[in-house]
Amino acid sequence: MFRVICVVDKEGTALDRLAKGVKPYMNGIDYHVVDVHPKRPSPEQLDKFELLARTADVIDYQYFRTADMLRERFDWLKKIPSVLTHNNPYSIKERDWNDYQVNVGNNRTIYKDLQDITHTRVEYIPIVVDPYQWIYQEEFANNNTIIMVANRIESKKGILPVAQACKRLRLKMHLVGAISQPDYFQEIMDTGVVHYSQEVSDDELRRLYHDSTLHICNSIDGFESGTMPILEAMFCGVPVLTREIGHVPELKVESTVQKKKVVTNMFINDGDPEDLDNLTNLITEALGDRNRLLRMRQEAWLSIKDRNFDRRAFAYKKLYRELFIPQSVSVILPVSGKEDVTRETLSSIANQTHSNIEIIVVDDGEEDQRGVIREFAKTVSHAVAYIRLGGKGYHLALARNIAAIEATSDIIMFCDQRMILDKDCIEQFMAHIKPNTWLYGNKGKKKEFVENLSFIYRDDFIKFGMFNERMTHYGGLSQETRSRARKQGIVIEFVEEARATPKGKSSNRNTKRYEIMEMKNILFKVQLQ
């Protein structure tokens, strides 16, 4: 199976949580998160990393200092395709980063800086959180409680001025984080208004968010690339007051009110983080308009709903596949029973002369084939994803559509379960692929069943509208697909050299007379027959 090692600095850090958060969405990839301390790696950490990395297809480094240390220690790492994600804005201009194949910026500012510096590929993949953990609270906590959440409690976070402002305004303040500067922390606690929590669970932190009226981020310029607590608070329905740091410029939503630009999804502090009078006035203004707070928390959730792990995982999966030559192809294989046929078809896909393949199996049988797919995945270097659909009925259109949505390649191939591919089938399709064209292969007869052995750009397939899931019985899907494609100007082209041998026979038309009639009636009504 296609193996990716994601390297973080320490267990439990924000980077570790980001890396582990995408793991449930890495279907088809053997994905491992390994923590290695950048300055004091333990022998156990190094041994675990080396054992996994020697068989890795891609190394994804989430912290540049750990990456540099490991690549200096193990020379062979430089031969493995590498991704370096930049989570520290202050390190970007230290060098050109050309020794990594892909550099990822986690906010737009870092992304643009990398484009100016490096000559290698640069991608933008933003910071996310788990919206199913940070659940939106419908009832707003209008208790004037302030919350600040910091990975490390230190002066650069600007916590003390917020605590002092809360003391002036006689407000309660929640503070969550690890103590990095003890003297600074003591000054904060001396204000007498702070309720401090350390090493709280996510569930307890969510409760604290739900018990708060305003989340504040008061960090200095050029220090943060996030922060994640801003997203957590927004998902929980807590309005945010923040300085314009990290990813805030790309998160904020502006509207024009009386010819003036107004930020509608958060409060922005454009002053000095140490300016106590300014902070006091901003907090007073924010808490003084309940209707604005209610509108803001709704607007905030809408503006960050795409900042979730499913999207981040998809972006990284696509990136990993694109590191290799030749171009990646996602082969979509619907299966239903007949495990021996599944094995033979999978074997013919794995033995293709075209090497960069992602296989997506969608199982619509009454008994799942998860075990078959797992055993097969262990024997190949391809990414092999398994999606369980299940249930009785004819769900080919749905199965293929689900797989096409999950596919990370720019090109998709539809291959039915009983199609045993010639070794160069994909290579022959690749020689003919072009935009706005749907290729279909040679199954011994020149029948235009484009869906069961075919090749198309994923974007063209999606723009076409994908398969019609209203075709729920045998006898209409092929004709509906061909007719609709031609009406939309998609060229359907036969590739004689792309060959496959059908295994056994297709469904018996004589046993499906009335199903065929129903499907033909639908085609007649929508003028596709």
**CA 430 from chain center: how many Å?**
27
- Say if residue 84 is in the same domain as residue 189: no
- Both 83 and 14 in one domain: the answer is yes
Tokens representing residue 401 in the block: 């559509």
At residue 431, the pLDDT reads 97
DSSP-based three-state secondary structure for 123: strand
Whether residues 151 and 77 share a domain: the answer is no
The encoded tokens of residue 255 equal 């509207």
187 and 91 in a common domain: no
Beta strands in 81-141, from DSSP E residues, in sequence order: 82-86, 102-105, 121-124
In whole angstroms, give the CA distance from residue 425 to residue 142: 64
Contact 499, 441 (CB under 8 A): yes
State which residues form the domain around 43.
3-124
Q: Indicate whether 138 belongs to any domain.
A: no
- Phi/psi for 124 (5° steps) reads -115, 115
480, 361: one domain? yes
Question: Of 93, 124, 155, which residue sits at a domain end?
Answer: 124
The answer to whether residues 306 and 234 touch, using CB atoms and an 8 Å cutoff, is no
Sign of the torsion formed by the C-alpha atoms of 280, 285, 291 and 295: negative
- Cα 205 to the chain's mean position, in Å? 24
Mean pLDDT (10-residue bins), the chain, 529 residues: 96 93 96 97 97 97 97 96 93 92 96 95 97 95 94 95 98 96 97 94 96 97 91 98 96 86 94 96 96 95 96 96 94 94 96 97 91 95 93 82 96 96 97 96 76 94 92 76 90 95 69 69 67
Q: What is the pTM of this model?
A: 0.91
Residue where one domain finishes, among candidates 269, 304, 339:
304
> What pLDDT is stored for residue 475 in this prediction?
64
Domain contains 391: yes
Q: How far apart are CA 109 and CA 246, in angstroms?
A: 8
Secondary structure (H, E, C), 8-62: ECCCCCHHHHHHHHHHHHCCCCEEEEEECCCCCCCHHHHHHHHHHHCCCCEEEEC
Are 340 and 312 in contact by the 8 Å Cβ rule? The answer is: no
Is 141 a domain residue?
no
Phi first, then psi, for residue 104 (nearest 5°) are -115, 130
| Residue 183 CA neighbour count, 13 Å, CB half | 0
pLDDT recorded at residue 510: 56
Strands (E), 427-475: 437-442, 453-457
Q: How many domains does the chain have?
A: 3
Please report whether residue 137 resides in a domain: no
Residues 455 and 510 in one domain: yes
- Whether 134 is in a domain gets the answer no
Q: In what order do the strands lie in the sheet with 214-217?
A: 194-197, 173-179, 146-153, 214-217, 240-243, 267-269
Q: Which of 436, 512, 442, 503 minimizes the C-alpha distance to 471?
A: 512
In a domain, 316, yes or no: no
Residues 414 and 486 in one domain: yes
Looking at the fold, whether 291 and 356 belong to one and the same domain comes out as no
260 falls within a domain: yes
- Residue 60: the pLDDT is 98
Q: Is residue 315 part of a domain?
A: no
- Assign residue 390 the CATH number of its domain: 3.90.550.10
* Main-chain phi, psi angles of 482, to 5 degrees: -60, -45
pLDDT of residue 105: 96
Q: 236 and 110 share a domain?
A: no
Verify that 106 and 250 share a domain, yes or no: no
Of 433, 528, 442, 441, the closest CA to residue 477 belongs to 528
Task: Check whether residue 106 and residue 175 sit in a common domain.
Answer: no
In angstroms, the CA 284 to CA 476 distance is 65
Phi, psi for residue 12 in degrees, rounded to 5: 90, -5
Alpha-carbon span 507 to 516, nearest angstrom: 11
Cβ–Cβ under 8 Å, residues 215 and 227: no
Domain CATH code at residue 190: 3.40.50.2000
Specify burial of residue 142 (Cβ count, 10 A radius: 0-12, 13-18, 19+).
exposed
Same domain? 293 vs 353: no
CATH number at 42 reads: 3.40.50.11930
